[in-house]
Amino acid sequence: MTIKKTNIEEMKNRPDNERIKFIYKERFVVYPKANNIFKKMEELMDISDTVRPPSFLLVGPPNNGKTTLVTHFCRMHEPYEDPEGIKMPVIYLQAPHKPDVGMFYDSILEKVDFAFRKSDPLSIKFIKIKHYLKELGVKLVIIDEIHNVLAGSKIKQREFMNALKNLMNELKRPFVLVGTKDALIATETDYQISSRFPPQVLPTWTYDKNYLSFLHAYEKTLPLKKQSNLVKQKDLALKILEYSEGYIGEIVAILKELAVLAIKTGKERIDHSLFKELEWIPPSKRREIHHINL
């Protein structure tokens, strides 16, 4: 979702319930690392077809913005119609919950919305996939949750990764795999696979200029009537980082909750006092909940 400044200014004068609903809407704020990844994916889309297309693995901890980043990129390259028909420059897929080649092929065919029979042999599905993806002009294939490959036997893992490698060879287009650190293990099942997917890491956030830049940019998307000046409140910025443990998904969720509290309490700005009302358990502490008497 792209948030225009005029929309934010208009939203500030809306009723509280509308502003709260707006706060919870999905939004994407570009930050330096994301911008670098976008540029790299744009470069991959521009290369000519090649037998061994350059690709990479986007890896990072859970809830650290990987999926949000690549799905935003997909929205930047939505399908369009030209004289030759519908074109789909980027295709986004989720790896099946286990390394099953049939399930993988089915997910691709379902994505491109062409009629197919699940009972078809894998060889037929593979031929259809090659034909349709080339016909659609796919320039980049993104496969999320690739660490799911580890949910099967070593044999199944190798079968799945071989199918992935064969598809890359036939399409001659770059792939971007996305997953947690376990994805590094998944790609290491085959040297030819691991060598094709050098990792691009999305690390957790630390207190630096990039983090402060993100806070400043995100604050501009919140329809509060007063400025919070988050970057000038070092104690508050550090508190948000502490509670989030550096995960961008947690940072965003905390900012949303604080903004909602700012509206409900009438403060209309995020300040340190709101943390007293924020019911938030840091990620590493959540596993301790089962010890609490509920």
- Amino acid in position 265: T
User: For the segment 20-39, what is each residue's pLDDT rounded down to a tens digit?
Assistant: 999 999 889 989 899 999 99
Locate 286 and state its tokens. Answer: 């959540």
User: For the segment 242-281, what is each residue's pLDDT rounded down to a tens digit?
Assistant: 999 999 999 999 999 999 999 999 999 999 899 888 888 8
State residue 191's pLDDT score.
Answer: 75
Mark residue 110 as left, alpha or beta (left: phi above 0; alpha: psi -120 to 50; beta: remaining). Answer: alpha
State the average pLDDT over residues 11-18: 95
Q: How high does pLDDT run on average in the chain?
A: 91
Share of the chain above pLDDT 70, in %: 96
Q: Which domains does the chain have, with CATH numbers?
A: 5-27+221-283 (no CATH), 32-201 (3.40.50.300)
State residue 115's pLDDT score.
Answer: 79
- Report helix, strand or coil for 140: strand
Residue 102 has pLDDT above 90, yes or no: yes
Task: Give pairs for 210-213: CB < 8 Å, separation 24+.
Answer: 210/31, 210/32, 210/33, 211/237, 211/241, 212/237, 213/31, 213/32
- Report helix, strand or coil for 290: helix
User: For the segment 109-149, what is each residue's pLDDT rounded down to a tens digit?
Assistant: 999 877 788 889 999 999 999 999 999 999 999 999 999 99
> Which of these, 88, 41, 45, 44, lies nearest to 66 by C-alpha position?
41
Q: Which residues contact 94 (CB under 8 A, 6 or more apart)?
A: 107, 143, 144, 145
- Bridge partners, 201 (sequence order): 59
